[in-house]
Amino acid sequence: MLLGLECGGTRTVAIAAAEDFTLLQRIESGPCNLRLVSDAELRKQFSDIAAQIADVAAVGVGMAGVRDPQDIARVRGILATVWPGCPSEVDHDLESALSAANLADDAPTHAKVILLSGTGSCCYGREPSGRTAKVGGWGHQLGDRGSAYDIVHKALRAAAHHLDHTGQWCDFGQRALAATLLNAPNDLIAWMQGASKSEVAALAPQVFAAAEAGDRVARGTLADTEAALAEDALACARKLGKKPTDFVFAGSVVLKQQEFARRIARRIRKSRPGSRVHPLARESAWGAVVMAQRALSNAPASPTAVPSKPAIPAPKTDFPIPASREMSPTERRNPASVRLDRMPVNAAIDLMLAEDERLPAILRSHRPALARLIREVSRALGSGGRLFYAGAGTSGRLGVLDASECPPTFRTPPEWVQGIMAGGFRALHSAVEGAEDDANAGAAAIENRGLNKQDVLIGIAASGRTPFVWGALHAAKARGAFTALLCFNPYLAKLKGGPPDLLLAIDTGPEILTGSTRLKAGTATKLVLNIVTTLSMVRLGKVVGNLMVDLNPSNVKLRDRAIRIVCELTGAERSAAQAALEANAWVLKPAIVSLGRKS
């Protein structure tokens, strides 16, 4: 039996079908947007369905909120606990809608664009060659133009505006109060602050009812929405080229509000004559059944060969990553610590400190490369460029740490030194499975930060082979930025051609705890970053002697330090130094100039 799950912001639909697509069972349950549910809630949703449907051979899931390989791995991992041994295919709900649209079209000759408007909204298309395009899908805080949530939010804003200007509470406003059991327009403020996305979206029928009754506020809202949805669908089609396009409407808003859908269709045909515009013939959950069929077709012949837990999707590696026959020293066992678990604590402390004591001499042998890197960074920062760090795990966190310390220490704008972390913000405090293996994500991060020929990128990777970092290096090099790689794998020292422009392949040897590069490699990384940014700032005039004259005194401790620096450099009394700083908004350099440097 094939099981297709269509999980949206309003409801979940489960369809159990035979392999010839004969319907065997259909179940509806509550909303299930991946961005809005915990793992426990998702597991319960699946378990409740599993309790009602037996003998599942494969599962397909189209789920709102699925955006990347990490999301897919998360859902598949939970599927494996509910349906052990079942092959599965997981993707966003637009993919399942498109699969449903293609169900009766085995060899599509036209590009197809799904215009989805339900609780959320998005446009997603594919041409026969397989190329895809997407417009929207930003979620209700940033996008979801034309969704039920967006319609209600706009209509409520328009109703409030109308009340302010005319003193009249419109028909839609009255219907909204009745539907929410509220008594006054002001009550909607607190309600909106606490309402969920689906609760807000549930008021959309009231907008349509008010518009049909002649409410100008509701009609204006829907006219704007029609234009927005048509515009997004056409933009998605343009991304797929000028070939004939089938536009397929999906989602409760455009499927239930037929006159509204017809007006959108007219706009599309007017801008793209010859296009076919029609509603989705079979509900999107059937597309998830198609996905289940694909999963079953791709499964190993022997059931015992199906992994009990699905693997993380294969990393995207569109960029060459260096290979070495030799294992990085950071992955080898340190002979001095093979009895670490049995060593007395004092001896273990001595061993760890002794290993760290070797680092300065090792780094000193790389002075020429460090000096060149400092010159490149100071050149970039002094001429309008920026310094970026890219890394994963400990390496990425150390880059973010160094970047975050520059504004308070040197009063630099936050954009001067930036950290790029594989897996993003969440990876700063917890591991994001598979993030470091996605080279394309590293490249995309560089594109999204807009690196150019004025900038410097330092990739940080203990092993020297992290795909995310190499994707970032290749993309930065293609955009003309100066690139450097800081790693602790000396076997990469013979690397020829391509990025990086500068390679710091430092041999710190095996770690005390085998493979734990947060230890010596992490300490050495911190030392290198300290050297690079500090001496670059010195070259930019942000230090006099050994005093930070561009300090940003943002707290009591730093203001006390600022006063002492001004006193030291001018010979002024403490009270005069503080007065000068206060007169210059606590900026040290003009305060020092106003008092005069002592000779």
Both tokens of 404, joined, read 């975050």
**Catalytic member of 283, 355, 436, 511:** 436
Distance of CA 568 to the CA centre of its chain: 47
Nearest CA-CA partner of 250 in 112, 43, 350, 342: 112
Tell me how far CA of residue 4 lies from CA of 51, 78, 292, 299, in angstroms: 15, 15, 6, 16
Please tell me the distance from the alpha carbon of residue 428 to that of residue 259, in angstroms, as a whole number: 49
Q: Phi first, then psi: give them for residue 58, nearest 5 degrees.
A: -160, 150
Please tell me the distance from the alpha carbon of residue 97 to that of residue 308, in angstroms, as a whole number: 28
Determine the angle formed by the axes of helices 588-595 and 574-583, rounding to 10 degrees.
Answer: 120
Please tell me the distance from the alpha carbon of residue 396 to that of residue 424, in angstroms, as a whole number: 10
Beta partners for 123? 115, 135
Beta partners for 300? none
Residue 405 annotated to the active site: yes
Determine the angle formed by the axes of helices 393-410 and 520-539, rounding to 10 degrees.
Answer: 30
Both tokens of 540, joined, read 């930019």
Are 228 and 116 a contacting pair, CB within 8 Å? Answer: no
Strands 12-17 and 2-7: antiparallel
Tell me how far CA of residue 267 lies from CA of 116, 179, 223, 352, 449, in angstroms: 16, 32, 11, 70, 36
**Catalytic member of 405, 415, 511, 568:** 405
Beta partners for 112? 126, 246
Nearest CA-CA partner of 126 in 243, 228, 9, 229: 243
Nearest CA-CA partner of 456 in 354, 566, 347, 379: 379
Nearest CA-CA partner of 9 in 200, 184, 268: 200
Are 148 and 252 a contacting pair, CB within 8 Å? Answer: yes
Side-chain-facing half-sphere of 345: CA atoms under 13 Å: 0
DSSP letter string, 325-346:
SSPPGGGSPPGGGTTGGGS-HH
Produce one character per residue of 21-58: b if its CB has 16 or more CB atoms within 10 Å, e if not. Answer: eeeeeebebebbbbeebeeeebbbbbeebbeebeebbb
Side-chain-facing half-sphere of 424: CA atoms under 13 Å: 7
Both tokens of 554, joined, read 């943002």
Reduce the secondary structure of 418-467 to three states and give it as a string.
EEEECCCHHHHCCCCCCHHHCHHHHHHHHHHHCCCCCCEEEEECCCCCCH
User: What residues have CB less than 8 Å from 533, skipping those under 6 apart?
Assistant: 377, 387, 402, 405, 406, 417
Nearest CA-CA partner of 126 in 90, 92, 94: 94
Residues assigned a catalytic role: 405, 436
